Copies of this chain bind each other. A is one copy, B any other.
């Protein structure tokens, strides 16, 4: 039994396919006699008619698909964002095609080509390499896109991201309130917008509180990973820079610190306090539970999807940059410094 087509419905209702099409589509239904429309609807219902979106896409040149470009779905940062995106896309009749780039520019290029050949109507991009020529190229070709969890200064592209300045500010303020004066920042990769943004935010916050802003207190990691966080902390420890607290570029880097604490017999929070960033799940189960700057990931996804749909449906939107407010979740990894 083949799936019924529009012609089958039309035939069953005793009308022409064009009329059936008009009746079935809410936007054009008013062009057709109410009675005829009802007849068509009933016929469609009884045949279990489902329109074929592929045929529709071919005709309308709209795929109702958007591409989601992320580094790695396995990173706990992304699933909540993806959920948010899908929660907006689904009800709007759109689907998301997810691709993982593993932070490999070649792979990213090829995955994006594939999305484009699949006629994705827009792109949500969560990979964060700074000054990737790809981005400029896409922009030049006026591909609709929204950046997520990252920004760019070079070109005029909408983005949705946490307010890093505020988030890092919250972390530093909390530590200062506890009495810390010598704070270190284990920054994310300086090849990512988020990495440099948070490092800059740290510098600002530290100066604001009149603390030592020696650049040696900012140590970048090569990747946003646990092992990189661990080696960055080891480097600081070995460099002899004195400190009583760490602001990590993200939660994974903070987790790396825990490894080093165990390794070197450092007690957290007695010897060193740590604050993470992002608020990934299960941080409250760690020992000590990690104080972190929680980011509204799901909402970032919602907002990004909304912006993309908007720019698809009504082009010539002004480019918006949305910054969502993070909040501090205080747990056991921060305390007053030993006096």
Query: Which one, A7-15, A29-37, A116-124, A149-157, is touching chain B?
Result: A116-124
A79 near B74: Cβ-Cβ < 8 Å: yes
Contact with B along A220-249 (1 / 0, CB 8 A): 000000000000000000000000000000
| Chain A, 39-80, CB within 8 A of any chain B CB | 50-55, 57-58, 63, 72-74, 76, 78-80
0 or 1 for each of A69-97: is its CB under 8 Å from B? (1 = yes): 00011101011101100100010000111
Query: Which residues of chain B have C-beta atoms less than 8 A from A255's C-beta?
Result: 282, 285
* B residues in contact with A136, CB < 8 Å: none
A287: CB under 8 A from chain B?
Answer: yes
User: Is A311 positioned at the interface, with any CB of B under 8 Å from its CB?
Assistant: no
Which residues of the partner chain B approach A57 to less than 8 Å between Cβ atoms? 54
Does A299 count as interface, using CB distance less than 8 angstroms?
no
Q: Please state if A50 and B83 are interface contacts (CB–CB under 8 Å).
A: no
How many chain A residues sit at the interface, stated as a range, is 35 or more
Copies of this polypeptide in the complex? 2
Which residue of the partner chain B has the closest CB to A75? B79
- For residue A73, which residues in chain B have a CB less than 8 angstroms away from its CB? 73, 79, 82-83
CB < 8 Å: which of B52, B118, B281, B287 contacts A287? B287
- A93-107 interface bits toward B, Cβ cutoff 8 Å, 1 = contact, 0 = none: 001111110000000
Known A118-B95, A287-B286: A54·B63 in contact at CB below 8 Å: yes
Flag whether A202 is at the interface (Cβ < 8 A).
no
**Given contacts A80-B74, A86-B98, A86-B100, is CB(A117)–CB(B53) below 8 Å?**
yes
Measured CB to CB, the residues of A under 8 A from B are 50-55, 57-58, 63, 72-74, 76, 78-80, 82-83, 86, 90, 95-100, 113, 116-119, 255, 258, 281-282, 285-287
Q: What are 14 residue pairs bridging A and B, where the CB atoms are less than 8 Å apart in the complex?
A: A52-B58, A53-B117, A53-B118, A54-B58, A55-B58, A58-B58, A73-B82, A74-B79, A74-B80, A76-B281, A79-B79, A97-B97, A255-B282, A286-B286
Other A-B pairs beyond A58-B58, A73-B82, A86-B99, 6, CB < 8 Å? A53-B118, A73-B79, A76-B281, A78-B79, A90-B99, A95-B118
